[in-house]
Amino acid sequence: SDADANSATEPNTLRTPIVAVLGHVDHGKTTLLDKIRGSAVSEGEAGAITQHIGATAVPLETVSEMAGSLVDPDDFDLPGLLFIDTPGHHSFTTLRSRGGALADIAIVVVDVNDGFQPQTIEALDILRRTGTPFVVAANKIDTTPGWNPQEGSPIQKTYDAQSQNASQRLDSNLYEIIGNLSDEGFSADLYWRVQNFQKNVGVVPISAITSEGIPDLLAVLMGLSQRYMKEQMEIDVSGPGAGTVLEVKDERGFGTTLDVVLYDGTVSEDDTIVVGGMDGPIVTDVRALLQPRPNAEIRTEKRFDKVESVTAASGIKIAAPDLELAMAGAPIRVVRDRNLDEVIAEVEAELAEIEVDTEEEG
């Protein structure tokens, strides 16, 4: 048919890479995410950010404004970065997509003074197992004794402003982290020395408080995604949506809803969806697609805006009947023109995998 011919020639669109933040408790995951959200907001104009359900989208222009000369938007055709809001590897392990990790790329946050801790090693184990590329953010460089903070500066500029004593102290902490990575089987180096990010892990010194090094971190994430993940980011935007359930929540006026990260295709109002549930796949119809309302006051009734459809990658709240037994971490699929039984079988197969994983982890 004509429709088929069109979709066959329609070029695929590149979606936003999904970024997760992992690391030991108190090493600065939440502060880093808040800083990225906050400074993106204060950059104002260009594209700012969009607050999604469970995620924050930072468009390429905003990444470039935050990263200054380190990110020239003309060098990239990926649309930006989508940060999953819930940090920590507990959420990461349960968030899968078609058997792999939901996140395309990860940031492992390590406190430069505290160094490797049990949850740092756990995070690396998970990333190794899922084959997820990552960078290490060596955080809290501003706590180095004698540090002379350079608010928002790229790391080289910050180094230039430090006493020899302070930079040497930082360097010795950074090399300790590089050594620890090597003990875990990852060949690593300071990111500006890394030639091939597929072979070597880049370590980016940052402060989530003073924003030093955050331009570099964003530049490395964009560069890595553009260089090594472009093919993986090619999606058929008009295809039936595929996503992962982050949370199952009751919302006044909507009943049970799903917070979902969509990583492929589109979901629209009235679409039939199949969702993983405690008693097996649930087949239902989308009643409403909800986005957080910008600047909504806490006490106002209307915390959400309805949208007609959403395209990957994005975070969205889905209201539909019969979601009471839906599970966090479960797959969600739009049926559209596909065979319902096939989609159910697909969801069933993924559910079985999740159960095996949970058993393995005890």
Instruction: Name the pairing type of β-strands 50-52 and 255-264.
Output: unpaired
User: Which of residues 109 and 248 has its CB atom nearest to ligand GDP in the complex?
Assistant: 109
| Total chain residues near ligand GDP (CB under 6 A) | 16
Q: CA 208, 18, 107, 144: dihedral to nearest 10 degrees?
A: -10
Tell me if 13 contacts ligand GDP by CB under 6 A: no
**Cα angle value 155/161/162 (rounded, 5°):** 90
Instruction: Sketch the per residue contact string, 86 through 125, with ligand GDP: x for CB under 6 A, - otherwise.
Output: -x--------------------------------------
Tell me if 30 contacts ligand GDP by CB under 6 A: yes
Contact 344, 282 (CB under 8 A): no
User: Which of residues 205 and 277 has its CB atom nearest to ligand GDP in the complex?
Assistant: 205
Scan residues 214-233 and list those touching ligand GDP (CB under 6 A): none
Which residue in the set 140, 169, 317, 333 belongs to the binding site for ligand GDP (CB under 6 A)?
140
Q: Which stretch binds ligand GDP (CB under 6 A): 77-85, 205-213, 217-225, 296-304?
A: 205-213
Least distance to ligand GDP, CB of residue 168, Å = 19
Tell me if 143 contacts ligand GDP by CB under 6 A: yes
Q: Which stretch binds ligand GDP (CB under 6 A): 25-33, 216-224, 238-246, 339-347?
A: 25-33
**Cα angle value 257/273/232 (rounded, 5°):** 100
**How far apart (Å, rounded) are the C-alpha atoms in residues 141 and 192?**
17
User: Which of residues 104 and 142 has its CB atom nearest to ligand GDP in the complex?
Assistant: 142
Least distance to ligand GDP, CB of residue 109, Å = 6
Token pair of 248, please?
């199952």
Least distance to ligand GDP, CB of residue 86, Å = 10
Tell me if 25 contacts ligand GDP by CB under 6 A: yes
User: Which of residues 50 and 207 has its CB atom nearest to ligand GDP in the complex?
Assistant: 207
Q: Which stretch binds ligand GDP (CB under 6 A): 10-18, 27-35, 39-47, 195-203?
A: 27-35
Task: Report residue 252: phi and psi, to 5°.
Answer: -55, 130
Q: Which stretch binds ligand GDP (CB under 6 A): 135-143, 166-174, 249-257, 286-294?
A: 135-143
Least distance to ligand GDP, CB of residue 178, Å = 19
Scan residues 271-310 and list those touching ligand GDP (CB under 6 A): none
User: Which of residues 28 and 47 has its CB atom nearest to ligand GDP in the complex?
Assistant: 28
Which residue in the set 14, 19, 29, 36 belongs to the binding site for ligand GDP (CB under 6 A)?
29
**How far apart (Å, rounded) are the C-alpha atoms in residues 243 and 316?**
10
User: Which of residues 106 and 290 has its CB atom nearest to ligand GDP in the complex?
Assistant: 106
Which residue in the set 20, 22, 27, 258 belongs to the binding site for ligand GDP (CB under 6 A)?
27
Map 124-148 to HEC letters.
HHHHHHHCCCEEEEEECHHHCCCCC
Tell me if 208 contacts ligand GDP by CB under 6 A: yes
**How far apart (Å, rounded) are the C-alpha atoms in residues 282 and 274?**
5
Q: Which residues bind ligand GDP (CB under 6 A)?
A: 23, 25-31, 87, 139-140, 142-143, 207-209
